[in-house]
Every structure is written in C-alpha cells, then in structure tokens.
Structure 1
Amino acid sequence: MSQKQRTLKEFVAELKALTDGMMTVEPKEIADLRLGEMEIPAGSYGQYFGTWDIAHGMLRDYSMYTLYPLVVLAEDPEFQPRQMSKIVDALDQAYSNYLRYSGFPKMGALALELRAHLKDNPSREEVVTALRAFTEYTNKLQAWSFHYFPWGLGKYFQYPAERLQAAPPPVADLGATRAHIRSGQRIRITWKPLNITVNATLATKENPELCADLVAALPFTTIQDHAVVTGESMYAWSPFVSTAPIRLRERICDAPIGRIRFSQSTGQKFIVQYGPTTEDLSQPVLGEIDEADAAKLAEVGKAVWESTFESKDLIWMTVELAKVQRPNTARHDATH
C-alpha cells in the first residue's frame, strides 16, 4: 500500500492540528513513554528507563539538529526540491524509524509519509511548508519530553564544591559582544500560576528579522522550563520556526540578568536569563527585560527550577505585545 493516500496540503493540515493539540495538553506518546505504557514494550530486562532516556535524546537531536537544518537547506535557492528529497531520505530514516519503535509510532508514520510526498517533486514552497510543519510538530513533542524527563536524578551527580570553586573562567568566543538594548518594540511576559509579569524591549534594531518572526507569532502561551546545563536560565519552545539572519549575538555568560535570547538551532527556544551562567557559546539577542522588573525573575527562576527538576507542576509563560512604553531610566551596567 502506498505510504500516502492524501495530498501534501492535507498532510500539513494534520501536522498543524496535531501541534495545536499539544500546546496545552501533554501528548499521549509522552505520557505513555514516561509511564511505560508504550504499545511496544521496548527495554531490556523489563525496564523502560533506558528506552525513555535514549528516545528523549534522539527526539532532541532529530528536531533540533536534523529537521531544522533541513528547513534551512530547503529555503536555500542553491538546493533544488528534488535534491531535498534525497537529503531527507538520507538523514531522516535512522531517527524516525527508531523513534517509531521507541514510543512514537504516529511520528514514524508521518515521517514515512513526508518522505513519500517529497518524491513527487513538489514546489520549493510546498517542501518548505511541509518541513516547517513537521519541525514544529517534533519541537512540541520535544518540549513535553523535556519537561517530564526525570532531571531530578541530577542531585545524585553533583560536582564537589572545591571543583566548582577551582573551575576556570569561560574561554573567549570570537565575535561575541555585550549587547545593550536601548529601544525597540515592547512585549509583556507573564508566568502563570505565579502571577508575575514583566515588560521588555525587543532588539528590533539589532536583530530586526528575528524580532519580526517573534512578533508575527504573538501572542502565545507555552510551557516554561529551566536550563539543565547553562546555569540560571529559563527557556520555552516557541510555536514557530525562524530561519531569520542573525546580526547580533552575545556570549551567554556575558549577558545581564533580564537578557532575552532566541535559539533557532535548539528548538526555537525563547530564553530568559535570571542569574549567573557558565556557558560561553554565543546566542542571538532577542531583547532585554526592564531593569525595574528584573528583580522579579529570581522568584520565577526558583519556581521553574523546582518545576523542571522535581515537582513537574506546569508553569505557563505567555508572551504578548505590550502597550507600556519603555521607562526613561536606562539599565546601569558596569560591563561594557
């Protein structure tokens, strides 16, 4: 039987419906995986933690480091749609077929159908639309997978205090710069059920295309989670895919409290820094929370840490346009 019985447009419509359905409701695949209720009881000697761990990591790599680069390539005029079919065939199957077996049968079937559609020589616009929709779908699966992964196990793998005190400072990152956002479009960020709201200014002048992509998607509400490596930083998967050119980046460890970043290459994450960080990679600058509101972030960060690492209680972040004008007081920062 053919792997496609419908049009590519109908296929994309289902992807969008599935993604919309996951915005505020945990998908069954994620619940089944974390509870050991998958259709196929994958896992050696009757345990399913290994299955869960590997599937979580592969889903992350699939959505961030396979599908998103495929979107970028599909938009590149140097690559023809017919070439994209071969590229997707080469890169997709190892991920989607294993994940199909490990608790994601629906996603595996959709990936198979996508590859079949791409063999029909669709237009570039159709290829890009389909790959974007599939990337958004897998990003949302990954967001839920990340939230419910048992990160609390990390308390059993702590660095000795003296090791942390002796750690070297971050190495220099070529091209990095400390950003100062003085003017731009205004947004408001609210966390529920914490009932904490902050106002921020987007880097409209510094990264205009990226900010335009964000504004076009507003308002949106998504799960707020905490970084597991970077330090005192929170992120949330955004419900859109941006391939905008980036004109200003900043080292994460150099950023001030209140920095807003956007990571296109790691799931389209909307990131808020609320304290010290150690990661010396540079990320796109999206904006800056008002200095008057920055003090509120510590309370949010603590609650989100508890949510991600222990309780799994859901904290929702809503991002929307704000009517409040930027205060005249500028952020005072000794770092230049």
Structure 2
Amino acid sequence: MIDGEFTSLIDVVRSMLQETEAIRDKEPEEIRALRTGTLCNRAGTNSQYFTTWDFVNGMIRDQSMYTWYHFVELAEDNNFSLDNICKVVNLFDHPYSNFLRYTGFPKLGRLAAALRKHLPSASTRQQAVEAVRNFCAYTNLLAAWSFHYFPWNLGEQFRYDNRAQLHVHDTPRDLTRRVQISSGTQIMLTWEPLGISVNAFLATNENPELCDDIIRVLPFRVLQDHAVVSGKSMYAWAPVVSTAPVRVKERQCDAPKGRIRFSQGTGNKLIIQYGEVTEDIETPVLGEIVPEHWDRLDEVGRRVLQSTFDTKELIWVKVEIA
C-alpha cells in the first residue's frame, strides 16, 4: 500500500483479513456509530437515523448472503472465465458497497472498490477465488454484528392478534422425512457465559464434505443469536465460507429438537433447533445434539432469545471436538 492506496490484489486481501480479525470478537466501530446515532454525516431523513439503520441492516445481509456468497460459487466454477466473474462482481457489488460506504462503512466501501479494481490482475484462478471468499467472510461477520444489535424488540408493536390463532394451521410436518443420526464425529458446544455444554454427533456419514469444512476450522467461538422469523432456532455465523456439496437436507419443520443445520447460502450459519419451527425450507443437515442433553437447550434458547430481542448480552458458543 502506497499513500493509502492498494497496489495489488495481495495487498487488498491482506487488508481485508486484518479487518476481519479486528472484528472477530469486538463490535465494529461502524455498527456502534450506526446504532448510537453518531454517524459523522448524520445520514437519515428528518433528523432520525432509524431508517438508515434499517436500510443498512438489510443491505449488509443481502450483500453477504445473496451476492458475495454466489460470487464465490461463480469463481469456483471453471465454466465462467475470470473476465466474466469480474464483470458480474462490478455489476452487482457497487450498489451495495457504495451505499454502505455512504451510510457509515468507509472501510467496506474502500475494500470493495479496491477488490473490484485488482481482481482482474489475479495471477491464478485460485488467487481470485480466495480473494472473493475472504471478502465474503468479511461481509458475513459484519452481517452477524449488524443482526445482533438491530432493535428486533420493535416487533412488540406488531404482534399477531391472539384471536387469529383459532384459525391458524401449523405447517404440516412429515416425520417420515426426519433424518436419523446416531454416529459420526463427536463435538461439544459450550455457551459462554451461561456455562452450559452439550455433546453432539456431526453428520459425517450423511454430509461428509460439509462436515469436513467445519472440522477444518475447529475449534471456534462465535456470537450466538436467535432466529427472528422461523421459531425456536438459534444461529451463529461460522468462520468458514463453505461451498461443499450437500447430500442430505431436511425441512426445518420436520427436524427434531437438537438438530444442527448449516446454511451455506444465508451467511454460512450454524443453526441449532431447540423446539418447533414453522419454516418448511430444506436446509443441509450438519448433526444432532445427543437426546440426553436436549433439556439443556431450553435455558440456552431462553437466554439467547432474550439477548437477541432485548438485552443484547453477548453470548458466545464454542464448538470443538469432544
């Protein structure tokens, strides 16, 4: 880097890795400024910043999950030339990164612009893949922090009418489609500062490639949050960007308590189900918490729900080989 300017793709990747590590266990200063109303340019119509916060939360989510993750998939696909990948990145990234630059994320905007500029100079296809993958990982982590601190408790103002429950039918469940896991690599999950641990089997027989991606980055410790739409599920953005082939999926509404899923396409999230959910989409199966530890999930779920919607307490889940 010369006079603050990136001189090569290697230079850009080095900087994005440093930025990613800087926010691994610490709230990004950009998120804090956004949620405390201290943005330097005071972006937000009518002297308020909630609309800016709302837009940013959605943009970061979509940039990481639904844009850069698919750039990784394209970069790994040899049917697409590097030139075509660069064109797609230029076309789809700029609206996200430029808006986020304006609304308090100058580092992200600067890194994205530098990556778009230097990506065509990649010396090998693999160098291009890793550059795109590392930027995806950076945006995933920003999305995790943004999700955690978003004021989800505003939902208290928009509750369903309890009387309507008389006419609501649960999502039809088909327990014959439930995946059974009774063996595999054993892991332990521990929630800090709750002091609660559970053991689980990874689905190393059902989804070996996906499990290999997870095992390679163990142990890890990541921020635990709660689902805000589907029901009794908790999730955490894992420190990996996996594009591994998936052999076995399961509808979330059919899954048992204790199911562990992994959603590659929505931020590479480790998902733990501790009760019923309504969502009927199929998600890759990653493992299952042993039944004798299921009762421990109730307290974890209660505290994580409270954290996500109210207290914003930092609850970390550590995942390691048992």
Above 0.5 in TM-score?
yes
Aligned length, in residue pairs: 320
Corresponding residue number in structure 1 for 2:117: 116
1:71–1:303 CA distance, 2 compared to 1 (3 A): same
CA contact (8 A) 1:81 1:122 kept: no
Which residues of 2 match residues 135-146 of structure 1 at below 5 A? Answer: 135-146=136-147
Distance in 2 between residues matched to 1:3 and 1:204, nearest whole Å: 46
| 1:182 Cα deviation after fit | 1.4
CA contact (8 A) 2:97 2:108 kept: yes
Query: 1:14-47, CA deviations, whole angstroms, 9 ceiling, x for partnerless residues?
Result: 2112111111110101001101112221100110
Query: 1:197-237, CA deviations, whole angstroms, 9 ceiling, x for partnerless residues?
Result: 00000000100000000000100001100000010000000
2:89 paired with 1:102: no
What secondary structure does 2:121 align onto? coil
TM-score (norm: length of structure 2)? 0.96
Corresponding residue number in structure 2 for 1:44: 45
Corresponding residue number in structure 1 for 2:250: 250
Corresponding residue number in structure 1 for 2:222: 222
CA contact (8 A) 2:227 2:234 kept: yes
What secondary structure does 2:177 align onto? coil
TM-score (norm: length of structure 1)? 0.92
Gaps of 5+ in 2: none
| 1:171 Cα deviation after fit | 5.7
Distance in 2 between residues matched to 1:314 and 1:239, nearest whole Å: 17
Runs of 4+ more than 6 Å apart:
none
Which residues of 2 match residues 2-13 of structure 1 at below 5 A? Answer: 5-13=6-14
RMSD: 1.7
1:301–1:295 CA distance, 2 compared to 1 (3 A): same
| 1:172 Cα deviation after fit | 7.9
Corresponding residue number in structure 2 for 1:240: 240
What secondary structure does 1:79 align onto? coil
Query: 1:278-336, CA deviations, whole angstroms, 9 ceiling, x for partnerless residues?
Result: 001010000000001011000000000000000001101000011xxxxxxxxxxxxxx
CA contact (8 A) 2:82 2:120 kept: no
CA contact (8 A) 2:221 2:317 kept: yes
| 1:106 Cα deviation after fit | 0.8
1:315–1:172 CA distance, 2 compared to 1 (3 A): closer
Distance in 2 between residues matched to 1:36 and 1:213, nearest whole Å: 39
Corresponding residue number in structure 1 for 2:153: 152
| 1:165 Cα deviation after fit | 3.9
Distance in 1 between residues matched to 2:133 and 2:269, nearest whole Å: 15
Corresponding residue number in structure 1 for 2:77: 76
| Corresponding letter in the other structure for 1:241 | V
Distance in 2 between residues matched to 1:122 and 1:67, nearest whole Å: 21
What secondary structure does 1:119 align onto? helix
CA contact (8 A) 2:173 2:253 kept: no
Distance in 1 between residues matched to 2:141 and 2:213, nearest whole Å: 18
CA contact (8 A) 2:173 2:254 kept: no
Distance in 1 between residues matched to 2:86 and 2:120, nearest whole Å: 6
Distance in 2 between residues matched to 1:203 and 1:48, nearest whole Å: 44
Distance in 1 between residues matched to 2:109 and 2:41, nearest whole Å: 13
Query: 1:58-115, CA deviations, whole angstroms, 9 ceiling, x for partnerless residues?
Result: 1100000000000001000101111111110111001110111111111001000000
What secondary structure does 1:72 align onto? helix
| 1:5 Cα deviation after fit | 3.0
